[in-house]
Protein backbone atom coordinates (compact mmCIF):
# COMPACT_ATOMS: atom_id res chain seq x y z
CA UNK A 1 0.00 0.00 0.00
CA UNK A 2 1.32 3.39 -0.98
CA UNK A 3 1.82 5.97 1.86
CA UNK A 4 0.65 9.51 1.28
CA UNK A 5 3.33 12.14 1.43
CA UNK A 6 3.12 14.58 4.34
CA UNK A 7 2.48 17.98 2.89
CA UNK A 8 4.70 20.62 4.51
CA UNK A 9 2.64 23.46 3.11
CA UNK A 10 -0.40 22.31 5.11
CA UNK A 11 1.64 22.30 8.32
CA UNK A 12 2.85 25.82 7.61
CA UNK A 13 -0.71 27.02 6.97
CA UNK A 14 -1.77 25.57 10.34
CA UNK A 15 1.12 27.22 12.18
CA UNK A 16 0.38 30.57 10.55
CA UNK A 17 -3.30 30.19 11.48
CA UNK A 18 -2.50 29.50 15.16
CA UNK A 19 0.02 32.36 15.33
CA UNK A 20 -2.57 34.74 13.91
CA UNK A 21 -5.17 33.43 16.32
CA UNK A 22 -2.87 33.98 19.34
CA UNK A 23 -2.02 37.45 18.05
CA UNK A 24 -5.68 38.33 17.65
CA UNK A 25 -6.51 37.06 21.15
CA UNK A 26 -3.66 39.07 22.68
CA UNK A 27 -4.59 42.10 20.62
CA UNK A 28 -8.23 41.81 21.73
CA UNK A 29 -7.24 41.48 25.38
CA UNK A 30 -4.82 44.40 25.18
CA UNK A 31 -7.35 46.50 23.28
CA UNK A 32 -10.11 45.77 25.80
CA UNK A 33 -7.74 46.43 28.72
CA UNK A 34 -6.57 49.76 27.28
CA UNK A 35 -10.12 50.80 26.40
CA UNK A 36 -11.23 50.19 30.01
CA UNK A 37 -8.13 51.98 31.25
CA UNK A 38 -8.68 55.01 28.99
CA UNK A 39 -12.37 55.33 29.92
CA UNK A 40 -11.45 54.98 33.61
CA UNK A 41 -8.85 57.74 33.33
CA UNK A 42 -11.39 60.06 31.66
CA UNK A 43 -13.74 59.43 34.59
CA UNK A 44 -10.87 60.23 36.99
CA UNK A 45 -11.00 56.70 38.45
CA UNK A 46 -8.16 54.81 40.12
CA UNK A 47 -6.02 52.94 37.55
CA UNK A 48 -5.86 49.23 38.33
CA UNK A 49 -2.79 47.57 36.82
CA UNK A 50 -1.90 43.99 37.66
CA UNK A 51 1.12 43.76 35.40
CA UNK A 52 4.73 44.49 36.35
CA UNK A 53 5.11 47.13 33.63
CA UNK A 54 2.74 49.76 32.18
CA UNK A 55 2.04 49.34 28.43
CA UNK A 56 -0.84 51.63 27.54
CA UNK A 57 -2.05 53.68 24.62
CA UNK A 58 -0.15 56.85 23.92
CA UNK A 59 -3.41 58.82 23.99
CA UNK A 60 -4.02 57.56 27.56
CA UNK A 61 -0.58 58.80 28.64
CA UNK A 62 -1.14 62.15 26.87
CA UNK A 63 -4.58 62.57 28.43
CA UNK A 64 -3.13 61.98 31.93
CA UNK A 65 -0.34 64.49 31.31
CA UNK A 66 -2.71 67.17 30.00
CA UNK A 67 -5.68 66.77 32.34
CA UNK A 68 -4.52 65.32 35.65
CA UNK A 69 -2.20 66.58 38.36
CA UNK A 70 -1.78 63.24 40.07
CA UNK A 71 -2.67 59.67 39.22
CA UNK A 72 -3.35 56.82 41.64
CA UNK A 73 -2.36 53.31 40.57
CA UNK A 74 -3.71 50.19 42.26
CA UNK A 75 -1.09 47.44 42.12
CA UNK A 76 -1.08 44.22 44.17
CA UNK A 77 -3.82 45.53 46.49
CA UNK A 78 -1.76 48.67 47.22
CA UNK A 79 -2.41 52.22 46.02
CA UNK A 80 0.42 54.48 44.89
CA UNK A 81 -0.18 58.14 44.02
CA UNK A 82 2.39 59.71 41.67
CA UNK A 83 2.67 62.91 39.65
CA UNK A 84 0.90 62.59 36.29
CA UNK A 85 4.17 63.62 34.57
CA UNK A 86 5.82 60.49 35.97
CA UNK A 87 3.19 58.23 34.39
CA UNK A 88 4.59 56.80 31.17
CA UNK A 89 4.89 53.68 29.10
CA UNK A 90 7.49 51.32 30.51
CA UNK A 91 6.98 52.46 34.11
CA UNK A 92 8.04 49.51 36.26
CA UNK A 93 5.51 48.54 38.91
CA UNK A 94 7.33 46.81 41.70
CA UNK A 95 6.06 47.51 45.23
CA UNK A 96 8.55 45.51 47.24
CA UNK A 97 6.80 45.03 50.57
CA UNK A 98 7.51 42.23 53.03
CA UNK A 99 7.72 41.32 56.72
CA UNK A 100 10.94 42.01 58.56
CA UNK A 101 11.91 41.68 62.22
CA UNK A 102 14.34 44.41 63.23
CA UNK A 103 16.61 43.83 66.21
CA UNK A 104 16.75 47.46 67.26
CA UNK A 105 15.86 48.80 70.71
CA UNK A 106 13.31 51.31 69.42
CA UNK A 107 11.37 48.53 67.71
CA UNK A 108 11.44 46.26 70.79
CA UNK A 109 12.26 43.44 68.32
CA UNK A 110 8.78 43.71 66.78
CA UNK A 111 8.00 42.45 63.30
CA UNK A 112 7.58 45.32 60.83
CA UNK A 113 6.03 45.65 57.40
CA UNK A 114 8.97 46.84 55.32
CA UNK A 115 8.51 48.91 52.13
CA UNK A 116 11.71 48.84 50.13
CA UNK A 117 12.81 51.72 47.96
CA UNK A 118 12.26 51.28 44.21
CA UNK A 119 11.41 53.36 41.13
CA UNK A 120 7.68 53.56 41.82
CA UNK A 121 8.05 54.39 45.53
CA UNK A 122 10.62 57.07 44.63
CA UNK A 123 8.13 58.75 42.33
CA UNK A 124 5.24 58.48 44.80
CA UNK A 125 3.72 61.32 46.79
CA UNK A 126 1.27 59.17 48.72
CA UNK A 127 0.97 55.47 49.63
CA UNK A 128 -2.06 53.48 50.70
CA UNK A 129 -0.78 50.11 51.88
CA UNK A 130 -2.75 47.03 52.87
CA UNK A 131 -1.14 45.73 56.08
CA UNK A 132 -1.20 42.17 57.47
CA UNK A 133 -3.42 41.07 60.37
CA UNK A 134 -0.71 41.37 63.04
CA UNK A 135 -0.81 45.12 62.34
CA UNK A 136 -4.40 45.95 61.40
CA UNK A 137 -5.79 44.17 64.50
CA UNK A 138 -4.33 47.02 66.61
CA UNK A 139 -6.17 49.81 64.69
CA UNK A 140 -3.13 52.09 64.93
CA UNK A 141 0.46 51.79 63.67
CA UNK A 142 3.69 53.78 63.63
CA UNK A 143 5.87 54.43 60.60
CA UNK A 144 9.64 54.70 60.90
CA UNK A 145 12.19 55.70 58.28
CA UNK A 146 15.89 55.05 58.03
CA UNK A 147 18.61 57.56 57.30
CA UNK A 148 22.35 57.78 57.88
CA UNK A 149 21.77 58.27 61.62
CA UNK A 150 19.61 55.17 61.97
CA UNK A 151 15.85 54.86 62.49
CA UNK A 152 13.57 57.78 63.26
CA UNK A 153 9.83 58.16 63.76
CA UNK A 154 8.06 59.38 60.60
CA UNK A 155 4.34 59.09 61.49
CA UNK A 156 2.89 58.36 64.97
CA UNK A 157 -0.28 56.36 65.70
CA UNK A 158 -1.68 56.31 62.19
CA UNK A 159 -5.25 55.04 61.94
CA UNK A 160 -5.74 51.72 60.14
CA UNK A 161 -8.92 51.89 58.05
CA UNK A 162 -10.32 48.72 56.45
CA UNK A 163 -6.87 47.08 56.79
CA UNK A 164 -5.18 50.00 54.96
CA UNK A 165 -2.73 52.68 56.09
CA UNK A 166 -2.53 55.95 54.15
CA UNK A 167 0.46 58.30 54.42
CA UNK A 168 2.41 60.87 52.42
CA UNK A 169 5.91 59.97 51.29
CA UNK A 170 9.09 62.00 51.26
CA UNK A 171 11.67 61.55 48.51
CA UNK A 172 14.61 61.93 50.89
CA UNK A 173 13.81 58.60 52.63
CA UNK A 174 14.84 55.30 51.12
CA UNK A 175 12.34 53.00 52.84
CA UNK A 176 9.45 52.82 55.30
CA UNK A 177 8.80 50.54 58.28
CA UNK A 178 5.18 50.08 59.38
CA UNK A 179 5.01 48.58 62.87
CA UNK A 180 3.14 48.31 66.14
CA UNK A 181 5.32 48.66 69.23
CA UNK A 182 3.82 47.02 72.30
CA UNK A 183 3.75 48.59 75.76
CA UNK A 184 5.60 45.93 77.78
CA UNK A 185 4.99 47.30 81.26
CA UNK A 186 3.80 50.26 83.31
CA UNK A 187 5.83 51.29 86.36
CA UNK A 188 4.67 53.40 89.28
CA UNK A 189 4.71 53.55 93.07
CA UNK A 190 3.11 50.43 94.56
CA UNK A 191 1.75 52.43 97.51
CA UNK A 192 0.67 56.05 98.01
CA UNK A 193 -0.51 57.56 101.29
CA UNK A 194 -2.54 60.75 101.10
CA UNK A 195 -4.67 62.78 103.51
CA UNK A 196 -8.27 63.79 102.89
CA UNK A 197 -8.33 66.87 100.57
CA UNK A 198 -4.61 66.45 99.87
CA UNK A 199 -3.20 66.01 96.36
CA UNK A 200 -0.19 63.97 95.27
CA UNK A 201 1.35 63.72 91.83
CA UNK A 202 1.87 60.15 90.65
CA UNK A 203 4.85 59.35 88.43
CA UNK A 204 3.98 56.79 85.75
CA UNK A 205 6.75 55.34 83.57
CA UNK A 206 6.14 53.42 80.34
CA UNK A 207 8.51 50.79 78.97
CA UNK A 208 9.43 51.05 76.19
CA UNK A 209 9.08 54.82 76.06
CA UNK A 210 7.84 54.78 72.44
CA UNK A 211 4.85 52.41 72.35
CA UNK A 212 2.41 52.92 69.50
CA UNK A 213 -0.41 53.42 71.98
CA UNK A 214 0.20 55.42 75.15
CA UNK A 215 -3.48 55.60 76.00
CA UNK A 216 -4.15 54.47 79.58
CA UNK A 217 -7.37 53.74 81.44
CA UNK A 218 -7.82 53.93 85.22
CA UNK A 219 -9.98 52.00 87.68
CA UNK A 220 -10.45 53.06 91.33
CA UNK A 221 -13.07 53.75 93.97
CA UNK A 222 -14.38 57.20 93.05
CA UNK A 223 -15.78 57.68 96.56
CA UNK A 224 -12.32 57.45 98.13
CA UNK A 225 -10.10 59.28 95.62
CA UNK A 226 -10.22 61.31 92.43
CA UNK A 227 -7.54 60.94 89.76
CA UNK A 228 -6.89 63.51 87.07
CA UNK A 229 -3.75 64.59 85.20
CA UNK A 230 -1.76 61.94 87.09
CA UNK A 231 -2.75 63.57 90.39
CA UNK A 232 -4.37 61.65 93.25
CA UNK A 233 -6.69 63.55 95.58
CA UNK A 234 -7.99 62.04 98.83
CA UNK A 235 -11.76 62.38 99.20
CA UNK A 236 -12.67 60.04 102.03
CA UNK A 237 -10.84 57.94 104.60
CA UNK A 238 -10.21 54.42 103.35
CA UNK A 239 -8.12 52.53 100.80
CA UNK A 240 -8.48 51.59 97.16
CA UNK A 241 -6.39 50.11 94.39
CA UNK A 242 -5.70 52.47 91.52
CA UNK A 243 -5.39 50.11 88.54
CA UNK A 244 -3.53 51.63 85.59
CA UNK A 245 -4.15 49.73 82.35
CA UNK A 246 -3.02 50.08 78.77
CA UNK A 247 -6.11 50.50 76.59
CA UNK A 248 -4.64 48.45 73.74
CA UNK A 249 -1.99 46.18 75.30
CA UNK A 250 -2.30 43.57 78.03
CA UNK A 251 -0.30 45.29 80.74
CA UNK A 252 -1.15 47.12 83.94
CA UNK A 253 0.17 48.50 87.22
CA UNK A 254 -1.58 48.53 90.59
CA UNK A 255 -1.12 51.33 93.12
CA UNK A 256 -2.53 50.87 96.62
CA UNK A 257 -3.82 54.27 97.80
CA UNK A 258 -4.50 54.79 101.50
CA UNK A 259 -6.45 57.93 102.45
CA UNK A 260 -6.16 59.14 106.07
CA UNK A 261 -7.76 61.89 108.09
CA UNK A 262 -5.38 64.71 108.94
CA UNK A 263 -4.91 64.83 112.72
CA UNK A 264 -4.36 68.27 114.31
CA UNK A 265 -2.92 66.91 117.56
CA UNK A 266 0.22 65.53 115.99
CA UNK A 267 3.22 67.51 114.88
CA UNK A 268 3.67 68.63 111.29
CA UNK A 269 6.46 66.11 110.89
CA UNK A 270 4.15 63.23 111.79
CA UNK A 271 1.36 64.57 109.60
CA UNK A 272 3.44 63.94 106.53
CA UNK A 273 2.77 60.45 105.31
CA UNK A 274 5.74 58.60 103.94
CA UNK A 275 5.30 57.32 100.40
CA UNK A 276 7.21 54.14 99.67
CA UNK A 277 8.15 53.91 96.01
CA UNK A 278 8.29 50.38 94.70
CA UNK A 279 8.20 49.47 91.04
CA UNK A 280 5.10 47.47 90.13
CA UNK A 281 4.97 45.58 86.84
CA UNK A 282 2.64 43.03 85.32
CA UNK A 283 4.18 40.63 82.82
CA UNK A 284 2.44 37.66 81.23
CA UNK A 285 -0.40 38.03 83.73
CA UNK A 286 1.93 37.94 86.78
CA UNK A 287 2.37 40.90 89.16
CA UNK A 288 5.84 41.86 90.43
CA UNK A 289 6.56 44.45 93.12
CA UNK A 290 10.16 45.50 93.62
CA UNK A 291 11.05 42.50 91.42
CA UNK A 292 9.23 40.08 93.77
CA UNK A 293 6.50 37.85 92.33
CA UNK A 294 3.29 38.59 94.26
CA UNK A 295 0.67 35.87 94.76
CA UNK A 296 -2.14 36.19 97.33
CA UNK A 297 -5.93 36.50 97.35
CA UNK A 298 -5.77 39.62 95.17
CA UNK A 299 -2.95 38.70 92.79
CA UNK A 300 -3.15 35.41 90.93
CA UNK A 301 -1.08 33.29 88.57
CA UNK A 302 -2.14 32.12 85.11
CA UNK A 303 -3.44 28.57 85.02
CA UNK A 304 -0.60 27.62 82.67
CA UNK A 305 2.19 28.88 84.94
CA UNK A 306 4.36 25.91 85.94
CA UNK A 307 8.08 26.14 86.78
CA UNK A 308 8.17 22.34 87.03
CA UNK A 309 8.94 22.18 90.77
CA UNK A 310 10.69 24.19 93.44
CA UNK A 311 13.03 26.59 91.66
CA UNK A 312 16.78 26.26 91.69
CA UNK A 313 17.18 29.49 93.67
CA UNK A 314 14.75 28.21 96.32
CA UNK A 315 16.57 24.88 96.69
CA UNK A 316 20.05 26.44 96.79
CA UNK A 317 18.95 28.78 99.59
CA UNK A 318 17.15 25.95 101.43
CA UNK A 319 20.21 23.65 101.38
CA UNK A 320 22.32 26.50 102.78
CA UNK A 321 19.77 27.08 105.56
CA UNK A 322 19.38 23.35 106.23
CA UNK A 323 23.15 22.97 106.75
CA UNK A 324 23.26 25.95 109.12
CA UNK A 325 20.31 24.58 111.13
CA UNK A 326 22.03 21.21 111.61
CA UNK A 327 24.90 22.97 113.39
CA UNK A 328 22.26 24.05 115.95
CA UNK A 329 20.86 20.48 116.14
CA UNK A 330 17.74 21.50 114.15
CA UNK A 331 16.61 19.21 111.36
CA UNK A 332 14.69 20.84 108.49
CA UNK A 333 13.09 19.24 105.44
CA UNK A 334 10.48 20.13 102.81
CA UNK A 335 7.13 18.58 103.70
CA UNK A 336 5.18 20.09 100.77
CA UNK A 337 6.75 22.04 97.93
CA UNK A 338 5.53 22.87 94.44
CA UNK A 339 1.84 22.35 93.60
CA UNK A 340 0.43 22.74 90.11
CA UNK A 341 -2.82 24.54 89.36
CA UNK A 342 -4.56 21.20 88.77
CA UNK A 343 -3.30 19.78 92.07
CA UNK A 344 -4.57 22.86 93.92
CA UNK A 345 -8.03 22.39 92.38
CA UNK A 346 -8.35 18.95 93.96
CA UNK A 347 -6.83 20.02 97.29
CA UNK A 348 -9.00 23.11 97.70
CA UNK A 349 -12.19 21.25 96.72
CA UNK A 350 -11.34 18.58 99.31
CA UNK A 351 -11.01 21.16 102.11
CA UNK A 352 -14.22 22.94 101.05
CA UNK A 353 -16.14 19.65 101.16
CA UNK A 354 -14.73 18.90 104.65
CA UNK A 355 -14.89 22.33 106.36
CA UNK A 356 -16.90 24.64 104.12
CA UNK A 357 -15.71 27.48 101.86
CA UNK A 358 -15.26 30.19 104.53
CA UNK A 359 -13.12 27.94 106.75
CA UNK A 360 -11.10 26.57 103.83
CA UNK A 361 -10.28 30.11 102.62
CA UNK A 362 -8.47 30.77 105.93
CA UNK A 363 -5.88 28.03 105.40
CA UNK A 364 -6.01 26.93 101.76
CA UNK A 365 -5.62 29.02 98.60
CA UNK A 366 -7.98 28.80 95.70
CA UNK A 367 -6.52 27.47 92.41
CA UNK A 368 -4.31 30.11 90.80
CA UNK A 369 -3.88 31.98 94.10
CA UNK A 370 -1.48 29.55 95.82
CA UNK A 371 2.14 30.51 96.45
CA UNK A 372 3.05 26.84 96.05
CA UNK A 373 2.42 27.23 92.30
CA UNK A 374 5.29 29.77 92.08
CA UNK A 375 7.95 27.19 92.97
CA UNK A 376 9.22 29.73 95.51
CA UNK A 377 7.28 28.54 98.58
CA UNK A 378 7.16 25.38 100.67
CA UNK A 379 5.81 23.95 103.93
CA UNK A 380 8.64 22.90 106.23
CA UNK A 381 8.56 19.72 108.40
CA UNK A 382 4.82 19.67 109.22
CA UNK A 383 1.98 21.68 107.70
CA UNK A 384 -0.24 21.79 110.80
CA UNK A 385 -0.54 23.51 114.16
CA UNK A 386 1.66 20.88 115.87
CA UNK A 387 4.67 22.63 114.34
CA UNK A 388 4.02 25.83 116.32
CA UNK A 389 6.48 26.50 119.19
CA UNK A 390 8.72 23.56 118.21
CA UNK A 391 12.52 24.13 118.21
CA UNK A 392 12.37 24.02 114.39
CA UNK A 393 9.62 26.68 114.21
CA UNK A 394 11.47 28.95 116.67
CA UNK A 395 14.74 28.54 114.74
CA UNK A 396 13.05 29.42 111.42
CA UNK A 397 11.36 32.47 112.94
CA UNK A 398 14.70 33.78 114.18
CA UNK A 399 16.99 32.80 111.30
CA UNK A 400 15.21 32.10 107.99
CA UNK A 401 15.62 35.69 106.75
CA UNK A 402 19.40 35.23 106.73
CA UNK A 403 18.98 32.81 103.83
CA UNK A 404 16.39 34.77 101.83
CA UNK A 405 13.16 33.39 103.37
CA UNK A 406 10.23 34.96 105.21
CA UNK A 407 7.46 33.42 107.31
CA UNK A 408 4.80 34.17 104.75
CA UNK A 409 1.77 34.22 107.09
CA UNK A 410 2.97 35.67 110.44
CA UNK A 411 1.11 35.45 113.73
CA UNK A 412 -1.73 37.95 114.21
CA UNK A 413 -1.61 39.21 110.60
CA UNK A 414 -4.63 37.47 109.12
CA UNK A 415 -6.34 40.80 108.37
CA UNK A 416 -3.44 41.61 106.01
CA UNK A 417 -2.51 38.21 104.56
CA UNK A 418 -5.98 36.64 104.50
CA UNK A 419 -4.61 33.47 106.11
CA UNK A 420 -4.21 32.22 109.66
CA UNK A 421 -0.77 31.88 111.25
CA UNK A 422 1.42 29.33 109.44
CA UNK A 423 4.92 29.12 110.98
CA UNK A 424 5.80 26.30 108.58
CA UNK A 425 5.09 28.18 105.31
CA UNK A 426 8.27 29.78 103.93
CA UNK A 427 8.53 32.03 100.88
CA UNK A 428 11.82 32.77 99.15
CA UNK A 429 12.29 36.50 98.33
CA UNK A 430 16.09 36.78 98.39
CA UNK A 431 18.43 37.77 101.21
CA UNK A 432 18.20 41.53 100.60
CA UNK A 433 14.38 41.77 100.69
CA UNK A 434 14.06 39.19 103.47
CA UNK A 435 16.44 41.22 105.68
CA UNK A 436 14.55 44.46 104.97
CA UNK A 437 11.22 42.88 105.90
CA UNK A 438 12.76 41.35 109.04
CA UNK A 439 14.22 44.69 110.10
CA UNK A 440 10.96 46.55 109.37
CA UNK A 441 9.28 45.11 112.47
CA UNK A 442 8.31 41.96 114.35
CA UNK A 443 6.09 39.61 112.35
CA UNK A 444 5.51 42.14 109.57
CA UNK A 445 3.80 40.59 106.55
CA UNK A 446 4.67 40.95 102.90
CA UNK A 447 1.34 42.77 102.37
CA UNK A 448 2.14 45.33 105.10
CA UNK A 449 5.65 45.90 103.82
CA UNK A 450 4.55 46.65 100.26
CA UNK A 451 1.12 48.08 101.09
CA UNK A 452 -0.78 45.34 99.25
CA UNK A 453 -4.28 43.93 99.59
CA UNK A 454 -5.10 40.24 99.89
CA UNK A 455 -8.83 39.80 99.32
CA UNK A 456 -10.79 37.66 96.92
CA UNK A 457 -13.24 39.58 94.74
CA UNK A 458 -16.14 37.39 95.87
Task: Give tens-digit pLDDT for 327-357.
Answer: 989 999 998 899 999 999 999 999 999 889 8
pTM: 0.52
What local confidence, expressed as pLDDT, does residue 259 receive? 92
pLDDT tops 90 at residue 429: yes
- Residue ranges matching CATH 3.30.1380.10 in the chain: 312-450
Report which DSSP code applies to 418: S
Query: What average pLDDT does the segment 433-441 reach?
Result: 88
Query: What average pLDDT does the segment 235-262 reach?
Result: 89
The architecture in CATH of the region 186-283 reads Sandwich (2.60)
What local confidence, expressed as pLDDT, does residue 210 receive? 85
Q: Which long-range contacts (CB under 8 A, 24 or more apart) does 260-269 make?
A: 260/193, 260/194, 260/195, 260/196, 260/234, 261/195, 261/196, 261/237, 262/195, 262/196, 262/197, 262/198
pLDDT tier, 267 (very low <50, low <70, confident <90, very high otherwise): very low
What percent of the chain is modeled with pLDDT above 70? 92
- Selecting among 371, 392, 422, 447, the annotated active-site residue is 422
pLDDT tops 70 at residue 436: yes
What local confidence, expressed as pLDDT, does residue 422 receive? 93
Residue 354 annotated in active site: no
pLDDT tops 50 at residue 148: yes
Q: How many CB atoms lie within 10 A of CB 93?
A: 18
Query: What average pLDDT does the segment 123-139 reach?
Result: 91
β-bridge pairing 70-75 and 199-201 = unpaired
- Tens digits of residue pLDDT in 236-249: 999 999 999 988 88
What local confidence, expressed as pLDDT, does residue 273 receive? 36
What local confidence, expressed as pLDDT, does residue 442 receive? 75
pLDDT tops 70 at residue 313: yes
- Residue ranges matching CATH 2.60.40.1080 in the chain: 186-283
Mean pLDDT of the chain: 85
More confident residue, 201 or 10: 201
- Tens digits of residue pLDDT in 83-125: 888 888 777 777 778 787 776 766 666 788 988 877 788 888 9
Q: Does a cis peptide bond (omega within 30 degrees of 0) precede residue 208?
A: yes
Cα dist from 163 to 78, 182, 277, 311, whole Å: 11, 19, 43, 45
Report domain 312-450's class.
alpha beta
pLDDT tier, 278 (very low <50, low <70, confident <90, very high otherwise): confident
- Tens digits of residue pLDDT in 175-219: 899 999 888 888 888 889 999 999 999 988 888 888 888 889 999
What local confidence, expressed as pLDDT, does residue 38 receive? 77
CA proximity to 64, closest of 35, 90, 38: 38
What local confidence, expressed as pLDDT, does residue 68 receive? 87
Amino acid sequence: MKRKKLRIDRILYCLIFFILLIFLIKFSINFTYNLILFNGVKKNEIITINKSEVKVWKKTVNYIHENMENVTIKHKKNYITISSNDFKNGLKLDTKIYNKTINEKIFSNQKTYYIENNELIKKSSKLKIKVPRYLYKHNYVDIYVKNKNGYELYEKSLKVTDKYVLFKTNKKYDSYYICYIYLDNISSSSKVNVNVNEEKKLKITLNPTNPTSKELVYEYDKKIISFENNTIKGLKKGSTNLVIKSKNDKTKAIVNVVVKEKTKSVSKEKEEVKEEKYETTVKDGITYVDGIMIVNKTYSLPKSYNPGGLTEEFMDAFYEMQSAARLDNVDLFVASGFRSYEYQVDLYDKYVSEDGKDAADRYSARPGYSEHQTGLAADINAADSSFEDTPEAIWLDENCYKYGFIIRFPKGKEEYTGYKYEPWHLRYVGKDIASKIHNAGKNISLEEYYGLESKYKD
